[in-house]
Amino acid sequence: MGFAQALPLKSGAVLPSYELVYETYGTLNADRSNAVLVCHALNASHHVAGYHADAQGQPLPKSAGWWDNLIGPGKPVDTDRFFVIGVNNLGSCFGSSGPTHVNPATGQPWGADFPVVTVEDWVNAQARLLDALGIEQLAAVLGGSLGGMQTLSWTLQYPERVRHAVVVASAPNLTAENIAFNEVARRAIVTDPDFHGGHYLRHGTLPRRGLRIARMIGHITYLSDDVMNEKFGRQLRASSEQGLDALEQALAPVAPLAYRYTTQDVEFQIESYLRYQGDKFSEYFDANTYLLITRALDYFDPAREYDGQLSAALARARARFLVVSFTTDWRFSPARSREMVKALLENRRDVSYAEIDAPHGHDAFLLDDPRYHAAVRAYFEREVAA
Amino acid sequence: MGFAQALPLKSGAVLPSYELVYETYGTLNADRSNAVLVCHALNASHHVAGYHADAQGQPLPKSAGWWDNLIGPGKPVDTDRFFVIGVNNLGSCFGSSGPTHVNPATGQPWGADFPVVTVEDWVNAQARLLDALGIEQLAAVLGGSLGGMQTLSWTLQYPERVRHAVVVASAPNLTAENIAFNEVARRAIVTDPDFHGGHYLRHGTLPRRGLRIARMIGHITYLSDDVMNEKFGRQLRASSEQGLDALEQALAPVAPLAYRYTTQDVEFQIESYLRYQGDKFSEYFDANTYLLITRALDYFDPAREYDGQLSAALARARARFLVVSFTTDWRFSPARSREMVKALLENRRDVSYAEIDAPHGHDAFLLDDPRYHAAVRAYFEREVAA
């Protein structure tokens, strides 16, 4: 959907006009009271549920919506009951206006000139989409990780428009360590000689080396140490001479052969897996988008304007909350979720909190852990639909 | 010291001749029974204690030995009593034979052709140094992190030559997550266009971009989340326009100014700090050495030849042990130290274990935490000197 009205951004810049792509699932009811907005995280899009052909260039059936296990007919967020909206954020490379699009002022791709966008800007843009769809109030906003930050921000920017907020595997801001990982990933991209200050499209290049490193770093932080040991451990892997393709090589464990003693080639299965993930990502993700989205993560900090007092920052919220965290998530740890719960309770808000004992680290929010899904299902059935 | 006798390596390769540089502190006693060997970790050298001018190009007084707070006259490892030997390992870039040296067979720098060296190879080379120094048995071997792996290996390769082994902040092998971090760092180096397959010296280049990224990743994993939050938190930093030099900028916190909204420039203090550390490291460290040393870490796994049974692998050890770990060390966690302690106890070995409640993460082993230093002092006074 195109928006001709300029969008003022938190940075002071203004986006003159823009496009937002979105997908919906289910049917909006007569009084327009059953809409659920789903906010995406770093590497996702408006393709939230169902199957589609054009996501990230992957063939079916891998192009299932990124939260298809949670959202759909009869699923925990039941699209027989709710009208679910997935929207792609500004700055993305999956359809909405972003750095790969043409800057109308210059006729050239925006590249590094695309303005810095924040969680608050995304929420403002999403609110305009809802205006256009004729939805005054959301039954719920739902998001994980960076999507959880948008969810929280919705309750602060538009308190009257959100009845329920479901914040999964998120945090009220990033820790120094989180910012540090983002920064290393950005440096890998920005110092890639093919980056050209962010104007690589004009130079006919792509900073794939940097994107690969960025994705490898990200992947390590999405998994728990335990699950990595269980999945990969210290297993060696088959060599490319055995005629396996990249994914087969990545996933094929081999018997405890002798070490090959190499510094540049793959020796352990975990290395092969990470290289595969990095290669794949670098084929479809835009480097400037990576910079923008990690910066949106870094900048989000609603307590900042309240001298660091989260409780004061959340006083505006009117929604009822479900907050979910995962025990082995060291990127957005349960302690960070508990900070939000505490601040909400200090404001006498209604909060349900589920701390799920799951082994999968931050990635758990995308997986179908039965206790996690049961908690979301129960909340939507008993609270949101009530 | 030059060694003309070829050194057979674990990989099957042979190092025809080589140089080992070392430093000693204190005096070897008449019966040669007071020698303590100190093994270094990734980024260190034979400059263990005291002050020196040529270490890593740093001016005095920053060139203190890397374990000067622990080792010296009257210190926990008291050089008035012990004869301490610091030795630089093969493959290093701080003096002993390594990739920056000339390969006698070709007259060119070794570069990527320097053979892969393992913890076991280092120990064998160190043993020859002791032979040359006329030291049959060590009062103690002492090392942290990768140095702790060498210490453990000493007790397995030369059980009769080690009376005491002090293993600090170490592990019996790397976890998948540790290998993963090493691999990302190596990929950053190897995919730097200035790497030239490891023969950058012949090309007159240095893969500084890759080294910077590698060091930034390393730094994050050496610190705990807590200490990073305490030191840097979400503080913004002074800009270069304020005329500060790089280190001042890195360390100067600024008042809670407005965000500058930038994806490529520094915004947070932690970013500045990491960039500074990466820049500094890339000026003095050799990329091929980085690959070799991280691979030595990856490969170390004494239980591997015993079907993963650490207890069986450690049955050869005869030394008495002090094992030290730090509660916030997530790179070499206390659980990994406890594995070693358990395996040693199963072999009825004498083991003291100190789990130090320290906030500093893996870096703690280089800092002068009083409880940690007291434990080492007590062990050397009561056990090693006894």
Distance CA A338, CA A361 (A): 17
Q: Which of A379-383, B93-97, B244-248 has the lowest mean pLDDT?
A: B244-248
Give chain B positions within 8 Å (CB) of A299: 259, 261
For residue A335, how far is the Cα from the chain centroid? 20
Q: Which of B14, B177, B181 to mutate to test the interface with A (most CBs of A within 10 A)?
A: B177
Residue of A nearest to B288 (CA): A263
pLDDT per residue as tens digits for the range A113-154: 999 999 999 999 999 999 999 999 999 999 999 999 999 999
Q: Is the peptide bond before B61 cis (omega within 30 degrees of 0)?
A: yes
**Contact check, Cβ <8 Å, A264/B186:** yes
Give chain A positions within 8 Å (CB) of B116: 261-263
Q: Which residues of B201-240 are buried (b: 16+ CB within 10 A; e: fewer)?
A: beeeebbbbbbbbbbbbbbbbbbbbebbeebbbbbbbbbe
Beta strands, E only, B116-215: 138-144, 162-168
Q: How close is the nearest chain B Cα to the Cα of A232, in Å? A: 6
* Burial class (CB within 10 angstroms; exposed 0-12, middle 13-18, buried 19+) of A28: middle
**Contact check, Cβ <8 Å, A229/B198:** no
Q: What's phi and psi for B193, nearest 5 deg? A: -60, -20
For residue B266, how far is the Cα from the chain centroid? 30
**Contact check, Cβ <8 Å, A217/B212:** no
- The pLDDT of residue A60 is 42
Q: How close is the nearest chain A Cα to the Cα of B234, in Å? A: 6
**Local confidence band at A56 (pLDDT 50, 70, 90 cut-offs):** low
Determine the average pLDDT of the residues in B35-39: 98
Distances (CA, A) of B270 to A98, A177, B59, B238, B250: 28, 8, 25, 12, 8
Residue of B nearest to A222 (CA): B177
Q: Is the peptide bond before A61 cis (omega within 30 degrees of 0)?
A: yes
For residue A236, how far is the Cα from the chain centroid? 32
- The pLDDT of residue A382 is 95
**Local confidence band at B242 (pLDDT 50, 70, 90 cut-offs):** very low
Reply yes or no on whether B131 is catalytic.
no
Report the share of chain A in percent with pLDDT over 70. 92
- The pLDDT of residue A29 is 97
Which residues neighbour B13 within 8 Å (Cβ) at sequence distance 6 or greater? A261, B115, B116
In the three-class reduction of DSSP (H, G, I as helix; E, B as strand; rest coil), residue B133 is classed as helix
Distance CA A173, CA B185 (A): 27
**Local confidence band at A61 (pLDDT 50, 70, 90 cut-offs):** very low
Contact present, B312 and B303 (Cβ < 8 Å): yes
Which residues neighbour B381 within 8 Å (Cβ) at sequence distance 6 or greater? B78
Report the share of chain A in percent with pLDDT over 90. 89
Structure pTM? 0.93
pLDDT at residue B19 is higher than 90: yes
In the three-class reduction of DSSP (H, G, I as helix; E, B as strand; rest coil), residue B65 is classed as coil
Q: How close is the nearest chain A Cα to the Cα of B27, in Å? A: 39
Distances (CA, A) of B298 to A262, A275, B151, B252, B295: 11, 17, 16, 37, 5
Give chain A positions within 8 Å (CB) of B228: 175-177, 180
**Active-site residue among B45, B92, B96, B145?**
B145
**Local confidence band at B60 (pLDDT 50, 70, 90 cut-offs):** very low
- The pLDDT of residue A24 is 97
pLDDT at residue A178 is higher than 90: yes
Q: How close is the nearest chain B Cα to the Cα of A16, in Å? A: 18
* Token representation of residue A176: 């120094």
- The pLDDT of residue B61 is 46
Determine the average pLDDT of the residues in A276-295: 97
Residue whose pair of structure tokens reads 């335990």 in the numeric block = A226
Helix (H) or strand (E) holding B355: strand B351-356
Contact present, B330 and B221 (Cβ < 8 Å): yes
β-pairing, A351-356 vs A320-326, is parallel
- The pLDDT of residue B386 is 80
Distance CA A152, CA B151 (A): 51
**Local confidence band at B62 (pLDDT 50, 70, 90 cut-offs):** low
**What is the rounded average pLDDT for all residues in chain B?**
93
- The pLDDT of residue A244 is 53
Contact present, B211 and B288 (Cβ < 8 Å): no
Distances (CA, A) of A119 to A30, A166, B56: 31, 16, 44
